[in-house]
């Protein structure tokens, strides 16, 4: 375990003016608070926060961050309180420790929800001070280094969480070494057999190609020096997880991989980066499609470098990264490399201007904070943490960075939520293209919009960015609520009309306390969803309506006579118009037989599902005779020449002989009917019962098909099923 003086010495190596008194005070306080607590390994618990602090000294962080690392578990795991931390170490360190303390006694239904809520708290704290994230990443790294002492199930869960969340987050913050080690440790615990197999292959390859690596390093150094470029050239093998991911992505074996080795060329200036690239490309042939310039177009985590792959000595593919000393420091330490932390300055506004990674993080947190529940928050976070990116442009030249696999829908939402919600098409590089086209680097994307458009709910499963998915989900919920609100308004208008009472939003507003709703829109949506009956609303607005209703119904059992609701619903000329399965109203058709234009119809309000449309002759309606409040007046309202199809079901008996099914389906096809489903059951040796679900234009179309089927010799009987 690290001694007190060793911690101070580690900090003073890079910060001679470090606050020794603060570090000593934090060390003693945490040691006393943790006392004899033990970890799963049997070691003293206090050793863990010291190791976390040691990791952060490697990143050369300021005194406050190191002190917070030493103290980060005291509030969560000891008798220490946040008030004591604030009083002893000041509000700055207190805020860091608070951001790292998990929420206790969560009243949540699942482990995943608790995980999401704790992660939400962490990221919201990060929005105020990114050092919270740096301590958390170091904490997770040390926990992963000692994961072997945990039970298998917990080990797997922590490794999955690390691979899904913390390793990508470290990458997004530009801390590549930490990201790679987190990935490596997760892979080692999640798939130890694959890890060992790749590690063994790499060891054998390393022994065989040791001279080749030295040769390439010397050759590159010599060629660059000949052009007056002083450079440091280092080569290394890629890590097992990086190789495994490439094998999975490209579906290739280890032996088929050719670019196992990566070399880094570190120069002094940007000009030398491009000159070094020229030396490399004139010395060896470049592999097409493997050149990326992240100097002119940096990644969102501030990473800057030139990547290229060439066919080097021995016909070996060699991957090269060319960058300056400053770029290399940012590539290794990411956001922790910024001078602000070395100076011990806490100025988030300056950091936000200096660091694109922190700007991205804060924008992402602002978006995620709008999530409706902790599990969605966790899901959206994972979607935002992609490594590989494509860079696309708006027609005005604005650069939009997206995850690999993104579509124009993701692009539209990245530009603005309103652009995504109203998108109906796109042009990619000037040509009309499908909205589901996978975008490539350098694409210019123009979104075609239509005001009043609502994004289809199916888009949610097709997009790859968290922002797009969250926006589509919100827009879909809002659209559904608008549908139910509109339906509720129409239902109440007719209910008040039948009661002979005037209806208005103002009158409804006065009855809100009696209806236990906050707004008129809430009442309308509840009626539309079937959660509140129209009669209850009428009585809430007009309390005397109950007596009038009783007077009318005396001697009639307190309700409508059998069939009265059906007659009113089917013949009422002012019934709510329906147009089929569209967005005008949340409706569906009877599951057993459907309904088609030309049928006399009735609507039944079903809580949470809207209105179900039945033909008036449907026997299923008998089940609702004692629920008059659920009966809705509806009527067909189709545009002239409409080609929309509607569901119907027929049942027939056919002679069991070869070709009978073909004759039946041919009749339906000849009449332009569309078969959705066919089920058959052998009734006797000679006859088969057949049920056919089909879609037709209207009742006339359906009757023509039934008449033609009845005329066939192989059909003994045909009937329509109406539920």
Annotated catalytic residue, options 58, 77, 217, 584: 77
Checking if the pLDDT of 9 tops 80, the result is yes
* Burial of 30 from C-beta contacts in 10 A (0-12 / 13-18 / 19+): buried
Give the chain's radius of gyration (CA, Å): 35
Stretch (H or E) spanning 683: none
Helix 63-71 vs helix 131-145: crossing angle, to nearest 10: 50
Taking all residues of the chain, what is their mean pLDDT, rounded to a whole number?
80
Pick 496 or 172 by higher pLDDT.
Answer: 496
Reference 253, options 244, 264, 266, 240; nearest CA is 244
What pLDDT sits at residue 607? Answer: 73
Checking if the pLDDT of 538 tops 80, the result is yes
Same domain for 197 and 326? yes
Checking if the pLDDT of 372 tops 70, the result is no
Q: Residues 6 or more apart from 375 whose CB is under 8 A from it? A: 110, 112, 113, 116
Highest mean pLDDT among 10-24, 192-206, 245-259, 296-310: 10-24
Are the C-beta atoms of residues 288 and 257 closer than 8 Å to each other?
no
Residues in a beta bridge with 311? 317
Domain assignment present for residue 701? The answer is: yes
Structure confidence at residue 288 as a pLDDT band (50, 70, 90): confident
Same domain for 202 and 247? yes
Same domain for 77 and 164? yes
Phi-psi map region of 184: left, alpha, beta (phi>0 left; psi -120 to 50 alpha):
alpha
Q: Is 493 a catalytic residue?
A: no
Domain assignment present for residue 661? The answer is: yes
Q: What percent of the chain has pLDDT over 70?
A: 81
Structure confidence at residue 558 as a pLDDT band (50, 70, 90): very low
Q: Is 401 helix (H, G, I), strand (E, B) or coil?
A: strand
Same domain for 47 and 175? yes
Structure confidence at residue 119 as a pLDDT band (50, 70, 90): low
**Distance between CA atoms of residues 462 and 457, nearest Å:** 10
Same domain for 141 and 198? no
Pick 377 or 628 by higher pLDDT.
Answer: 628
Checking if the pLDDT of 583 tops 80, the result is no
Same domain for 534 and 608? no
DSSP letters for 477-540: HHHHHHHHHHHHHHHHHHHHHHHT----HHHHHHTHHHHT-SSHHHHHHHHHHTSS-HHHHHHH
Annotated catalytic residue, options 76, 196, 637, 672: 76
Checking if the pLDDT of 259 tops 80, the result is no
Sign of CA dihedral 48, 50, 53, 55: negative
Stretch (H or E) spanning 691: strand 687-696
Structure confidence at residue 424 as a pLDDT band (50, 70, 90): very high
- Among residues 515, 536, 556, the one where a domain terminates is 556
Reference 139, options 71, 84, 91; nearest CA is 71
**Distance between CA atoms of residues 561 and 222, nearest Å:** 101
The pairing of beta strand 631-632 with beta strand 445-449: unpaired
Domain assignment present for residue 371? The answer is: no
For the ranges 27-41, 366-380, 559-573, the lowest mean pLDDT is seen at 559-573
Same domain for 223 and 250? yes
Checking if the pLDDT of 110 tops 90, the result is no
| Buried residues in 563-594 as b, exposed as e (16+ CB within 10 A) | eebbebbbebeebbebbbeeeebbbebbeebb
Instruction: Look up residue 451 and give its two tokens.
Output: 């005001």
Q: Cβ of 692: how many Cβ atoms within 10 Å?
A: 23
Same domain for 184 and 199? no
Same domain for 313 and 289? yes
Reference 260, options 285, 278, 235, 277; nearest CA is 235
Q: How many domains does the chain have?
A: 6
- Among residues 639, 659, 678, the one where a domain terminates is 639
Same domain for 550 and 631? no
Checking if the pLDDT of 569 tops 60, the result is no
The mean pLDDT of 48-59, rounded to a whole number, is 92
Q: What percent of the chain has pLDDT over 90?
A: 25
Same domain for 101 and 15? yes
Are the C-beta atoms of residues 412 and 406 closer than 8 Å to each other?
no
- Among residues 437, 464, 491, the one where a domain terminates is 464
* Separation in Å, CA 317 to CA 202, 205, 237, 259, 280: 16, 14, 12, 5, 13
Structure confidence at residue 435 as a pLDDT band (50, 70, 90): very high
Domain harbouring 652, CATH code: 3.30.70.260
Domain assignment present for residue 282? The answer is: yes
Domain assignment present for residue 351? The answer is: no
Q: Is 345 helix (H, G, I), strand (E, B) or coil?
A: coil
Domain harbouring 117, CATH code: 1.10.3210.10
Domain assignment present for residue 381? The answer is: no
Domain harbouring 311, CATH code: 3.30.460.10
| Domain that residue 32 falls in | 4-190
The mean pLDDT of 175-186, rounded to a whole number, is 90
Structure confidence at residue 461 as a pLDDT band (50, 70, 90): confident
Domain assignment present for residue 362? The answer is: no
**Distance between CA atoms of residues 497 and 510, nearest Å:** 19
Domain assignment present for residue 366? The answer is: no
Are the C-beta atoms of residues 527 and 534 closer than 8 Å to each other?
yes
Q: Is 633 a catalytic residue?
A: no
Reference 377, options 477, 473, 478; nearest CA is 473
Are the C-beta atoms of residues 631 and 569 closer than 8 Å to each other?
yes
Checking if the pLDDT of 386 tops 70, the result is no
Same domain for 186 and 198? no
């Amino acid at each position: 375990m690290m001694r007190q003086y060793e911690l101070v010495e580690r900090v003073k190596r890079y910060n001679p003016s470090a606050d020794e008194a603060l570090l000593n005070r934090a060390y003693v306080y945490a040691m006393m608070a943790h006392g004899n607590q033990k970890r799963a390994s049997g070691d003293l618990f206090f050793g863990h926060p010291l190791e976390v602090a040691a990791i952060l000294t490697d990143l050369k962080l300021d005194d406050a961050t190191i002190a917070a690392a030493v103290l980060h578990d005291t509030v969560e795991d000891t008798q220490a309180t946040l008030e004591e931390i604030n009083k002893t170490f000041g509000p700055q360190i207190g805020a860091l420790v608070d951001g790292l303390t998990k929420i206790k006694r969560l009243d949540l239904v699942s482990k995943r929800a608790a995980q999401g809520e704790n992660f939400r708290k962490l990221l919201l704290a990060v929005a105020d001070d990114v050092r919270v994230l740096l301590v958390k990443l170091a904490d997770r790294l040390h926990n992963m280094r000692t994961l072997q002492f945990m039970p298998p199930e917990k080990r797997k869960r922590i490794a999955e969480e690390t691979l899904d969340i913390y390793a990508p987050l470290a990458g997004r913050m530009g801390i590549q070494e930490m990201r790679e080690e987190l990935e490596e440790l997760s892979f080692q615990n999640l798939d130890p057999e694959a890890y060992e197999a790749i590690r063994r292959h790499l060891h054998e390859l390393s022994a065989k190609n040791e001279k080749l690596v030295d040769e390439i390093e010397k050759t590159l150094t010599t060629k660059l020096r000949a052009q007056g470029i002083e450079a440091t050239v280092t080569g290394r093998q890629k890590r097992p997880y990086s190789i495994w991911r490439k094998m999975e992505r490209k579906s290739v074996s280890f032996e088929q991989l050719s670019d196992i080795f990566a070399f880094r060329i570190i120069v002094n200036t940007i000009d030398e980066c491009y000159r070094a690239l020229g030396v490399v490309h004139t010395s060896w042939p470049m592999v097409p499609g493997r050149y990326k310039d992240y100097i002119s177009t940096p990644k969102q985590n501030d990473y800057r470098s030139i990547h290229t792959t060439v066919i080097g000595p021995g016909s070996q593919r060699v991957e090269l990264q060319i960058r300056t000393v400053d770029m290399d420091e940012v590539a290794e330490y990411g956001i922790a490399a910024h001078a602000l932390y070395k100076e011990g300055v806490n100025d988030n506004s300056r950091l936000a201007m200096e660091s694109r990674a922190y700007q991205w993080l804060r924008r992402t947190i602002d978006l995620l904070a709008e999530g409706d529940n902790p599990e969605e928050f966790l899901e959206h976070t994972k979607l935002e943490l992609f490594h590989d990116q494509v860079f696309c442009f708006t027609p005005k030249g604005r650069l939009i960075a997206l995850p690999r696999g993104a579509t124009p829908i993701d692009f539209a939402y990245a530009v603005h939520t309103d652009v995504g919600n109203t998108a109906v098409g796109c042009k990619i590089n000037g040509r009309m293209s499908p909205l589901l086209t996978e975008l490539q680097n350098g694409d210019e994307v123009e979104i075609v919009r239509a005001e009043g458009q609502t994004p289809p709910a199916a888009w949610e499963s097709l997009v790859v960015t968290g922002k797009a998915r969250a926006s589509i989900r919100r827009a879909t919920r809002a659209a559904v609520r608008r549908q139910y609100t509109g339906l509720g308004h129409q239902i109440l208008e007719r209910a008040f009309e039948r009661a002979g009472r005037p209806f208005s939003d103002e009158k409804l507003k006065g009855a809100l306390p009696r209806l236990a709703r906050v707004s008129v829109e809430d009442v309308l949506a509840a009626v539309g969803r079937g959660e509140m009956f129209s009669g209850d609303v009428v009585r809430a607005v007009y309390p005397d309506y109950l007596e009038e209703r009783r007077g009318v119904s005396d001697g009639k059992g307190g309700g409508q006579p059998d069939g009265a609701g059906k007659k009113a619903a089917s013949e009422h000329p002012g019934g709510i118009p329906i147009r089929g399965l569209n967005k005008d109203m949340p409706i569906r058709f009877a599951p057993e037989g459907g309904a088609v234009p030309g049928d006399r119809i009735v609507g039944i309000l079903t809580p949470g599902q809207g209105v179900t449309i039945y033909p008036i002759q449907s026997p299923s309606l008998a089940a609702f005779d004692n629920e008059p409040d659920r009966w809705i007046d509806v009527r067909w309202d189709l545009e002239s020449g409409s080609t929309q199809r509607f569901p119907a079901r027929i049942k027939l008996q056919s002679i069991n002989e070869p070709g009978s099914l073909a004759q039946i389906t041919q009749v339906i096809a000849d009449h332009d009917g569309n078969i959705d489903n066919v089920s058959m059951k052998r009734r006797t040796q000679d006859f088969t019962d057949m049920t056919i679900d089909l879609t037709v234009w209207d009742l006339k179309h359906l009757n023509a098909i039934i008449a033609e089927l009845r005329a066939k010799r192989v059909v003994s009987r045909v009937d329509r099923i109406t539920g």
